[in-house]
Amino acid sequence: MDEERSGRQLRLIGETVEIAKALGVEVRLRGGWAMDFFIGEVTRDHEDIDWFAWAEDAPALADGLLRSGYEPLPGPPAEQQLDFRKQGVESSFALLDEDRSGRVVVAGGPWAGEPWPEGMLDAAPGRIGAVQCPLISPRAQITIKHMTPVWVPGRPRRMKDAEDITRLESALRARGTLH
């Protein structure tokens, strides 16, 4: 494992949480880092840091990140996701919205209005060392990793996703919460 890269990413996660807190903006980890924060340790190398944020907070969040030295990157439509880089690490913020019935949905882009898994935002914060961070629920994480090849045709299931599903299910089983 590349401990230097993991350490840099972990520091940037803590920094992003502090930026969001100062702005009064909610961010939540998703992807591999959400799994690691749920488990409580770094389990593998990560290419980037994936987040969720509310679409209505995107302008303030983007401004705060830019003021803190993050540089914007091209990516999906801005109403769907914001991408940044700092210290060689990419951070992606998939944007959330609520539909008329209060379900959490994709905010924009080609999947605008599509629902995310039920209960996705119900998780307690996770922790690695001194860094505590809001994250999505492990059950939602499992659903997302299972469904991505279905939701995004042409994107095969990656080995790391299958391994992450196994880790999350094992952690839930150990806590007696896997149904």
pLDDT at residue number 146: 81
Note the pTM of the prediction, 2 decimals.
0.92
Amino acid, single-letter form, for residue 113 = G
Q: d(Cα 59, Cα 101) in Å, to the nearest integer?
A: 25
Token pair in block for residue 91: 């951070």
Domain segments of the chain as ranges: 3-137
List the CATH code of the domain at 3-137: 3.30.460.40
Contacts within 8 Å (CB) and 24+ apart, 163-166: 163/44, 164/32, 164/35
What is the residue-level pLDDT of the chain in tens, covering all 179 positions? 899 999 999 999 999 999 999 999 999 999 999 999 999 999 999 999 999 999 999 999 999 999 999 999 998 899 999 999 999 999 999 999 999 999 999 999 988 999 999 999 999 999 999 999 999 999 999 999 888 766 777 777 788 888 999 999 999 999 887 66
